[in-house]
Every structure is written in structure tokens, then in C-alpha cells.
Amino acid sequence: MARIPSTKIKSIAARETDSVSPPVAPARTKTKSAAIIALLKSKRGATIQDLMQATHWQAHSIRGFLAGSLSKRHGLAVTSVKLEGKERRYRVE
């Protein structure tokens, strides 16, 4: 078995790392998911009612999206705060 010169190995490795990565599609901005994320990133956060008005989804759909899709697909952590006498507010930081 013939030995491959080290210069040949380096050139093969360089070719493999110089490959162009596939283009990444830009994030869609006019989706219901984007609307929810924008509301959650606001300074005050958003209530379930705010999110329902923005998306026309029902409350259980909003909660499911917050619990599942945001953490699994988008990698975002949602925090919620319930102040005494006020509605629960959700935020993404």
C-alpha cells in the first residue's frame, strides 16, 4: 500500500472546508409565530389575551405553542410572571 504524502492530505482537507454552505432562508416575518415572538420580546411581555388578539387562536393553542414550539423549534425559553391582582404575563429574553 502506497503512502499518501502529507501535502496531498492537507490539500484534500482544505478543499473540504472551503466548500460553500447552502444559503439560509430568511426568517418569515408575517407569520403568527413571528407575531407571538415579537409580542413576547417586548418590554412588558404579553398576556394570553394579547396573544389571542394577535393570532386569532384559542387560549389552549397559545399555551401549547408557548410550551412546545417555542422551546423545541425556536430554542427560546419562556418565562411567566403573575403579579397579585393582575393577569399572568409571558416573556422571552
pLDDT digits (tens, 9 = 90+) for 18-74: 555 566 656 677 899 999 999 999 999 999 999 999 999 999 999 999 999 888 888
For 32, other C-beta atoms within 10 Å of its C-beta total 15
* CATH fold for the domain made of 29-92: Arc Repressor Mutant, subunit A (1.10.10)
The pTM assigned to this predicted structure is 0.67
- Alpha-carbon distances, residue 54 vs 15, 32, 51, 61, 92 (angstroms): 49, 8, 5, 13, 17
Domain boundaries, the chain: 29-92
Residue with cell 416575518: 29
Shortest CA distance to 49 belongs to which of 37, 38, 36, 30? 36
